[in-house]
Amino acid sequence: MAVEAQLCPQCGAAIQFGEGQTEVVCSHCGTTVVKAAAPGATSVEKELEAEKLVQETVRREKKLHAHGRPATGKIVSAQATDIFRPTVEGRAVLMSFAVEVQPDGETHFAAEARVLVGLSAVDKYRPGTLLDVRYDPQDRAQVSIEGRQGVKSVEERARERQAKEQARWKAKQAQRAEVAADAVNPAWGGPRPAGSVPVPVEFDHVTSLGPAAAVHEHQGIRLLSNFGTPRPNVLVRYRDGLAYRTHGPDVTTWRWDEAAVIQSNVSDHLSPHSSSVAWTEHEYTLTKHSGEKLVLDDGLKDIEPLIASVKQAVFALIGPPLVQRYQAGEALTFGPVTIQRQNALQLDGKPYAWDAIQDIKVENGLLQVTLRIGQKGQPVGQARASAIPNIELLCQLIGVPLLSPGDLSHIV
């Protein structure tokens, strides 16, 4: 007589099937074991049915986990199927249970439920075992098993592992950031954000402008023009603005988004004995939307790289809205110059049609307009660059080549 064997899915004991037998009761745990089909004999229909059963079980678990009512369940009977699936904790078998569900404050009721159980935990799901379940109060046939009572489910353990891994990752990132900050922040100087240069002690309280990028100290030169407008003795350039101090201890701050106008007055002074430039005088007037002014001049060290950074930050904010207004047909005024995209350029109130203009350029501190008709090469209109606020933005709008600092200077 031919004998076939397989393992009991409930306890793992060896089960022997006699010829013609398709079911045998396990002598170790009492589970009825259905004979597995011979290799290659499983039909496509059976596989599809098994997959459908698993998917239905998963959908029910998700639905009831989100909207079901919790209760205590007790296993009345347990049956392992011949459906196996891989899970995050290893290979699992789909088990079918008859359960007695006991909602809080209500009468218990009988139901059936299915769940994937890891092979190592199958023997723990015996009749009498208490379970954490969820049910649909509108349809009590809809019951899902979350796990044995007092034992965390696979999903809960997976979520906890994920949370611990994220916490460890965040701790490592924070540790790396702390090490990096220690590496870039020397012990000398006052407190400052990572990446910030050391500042004079009077500026330690300035924390609203981001990290400090550069400090420009007084270099002993003080120009007396434009009397009454503040001229810093010490200035700190920050990511989001600047802060300065004049003769007193008070520190004044400017945000880049407060600035509306930058006006440049650059002059070259010739040597009395030759035509070469002996020295260059720099004066830049910044005006807020409120009308408040500030003059940056040669009294500060490294005035040229300072003003280049200031213009870049300010023009990046006020430039795009001007482009939109100009493209929309609005007339824009820059001191003595007014431009309108559809019509013309006005210089000191005199209009020049775009198609009548041969050239517009800025050189030797002058904006010059040359017409197509008339004496070739002779400008018909001009204005001092120092009188034109935000002259760089004006040139950008009408297509004048990018200005170099030397173009703005005039000889005195």
- DSSP strands (E only) in 209-304: 212-216, 234-238, 241-245, 252-255, 259-270, 277-288, 293-297
Tell me the pLDDT tens digit for each residue of 284-294.
999 999 999 99
Tell me the pLDDT tens digit for each residue of 116-172.
988 888 889 999 999 999 999 999 999 999 888 877 655 566 566 667 777 776 777
pLDDT at 5 over 70: no
| pLDDT range class, residue 114, cuts 50, 70, 90 | very high
| Domain chopping of the chain, boundaries | 4-34, 58-151, 201-316, 329-411
Supply the pLDDT for residue 1: 45
Kind and range of the H or E run holding 102: strand 90-102
pLDDT at 216 over 70: yes
Supply the pLDDT for residue 221: 53
CA nearest 117: which of 136, 90, 137?
90
- Eight-class DSSP state of 408: G
Supply the pLDDT for residue 140: 92
| pLDDT range class, residue 193, cuts 50, 70, 90 | low
Residue 143 contacts by C-beta under 8 Å, 6 or more apart in sequence? 64, 73, 99, 101, 111, 112, 113, 133, 134, 135, 136
**201-316: CATH topology:** PH-domain like (2.30.29)
Q: List the structure tokens of 222.
A: 């003080």
Could you tell me which CATH class the domain 58-151 is placed in?
A: mainly beta
Tell me the pLDDT tens digit for each residue of 197-207.
889 989 988 98
**58-151 and 201-316 agree in CATH topology:** no
pLDDT at 376 over 50: yes
Tell me the average pLDDT across 12-36.
Answer: 75
Region of poorest pLDDT, from 89-103, 213-227, 278-292, 367-381: 213-227
Task: Tell me the whole-structure pTM to 2 decimals.
Answer: 0.53
Supply the pLDDT for residue 224: 46
Cα 298 to Cα 280: distance, rounded to the nearest angstrom: 9
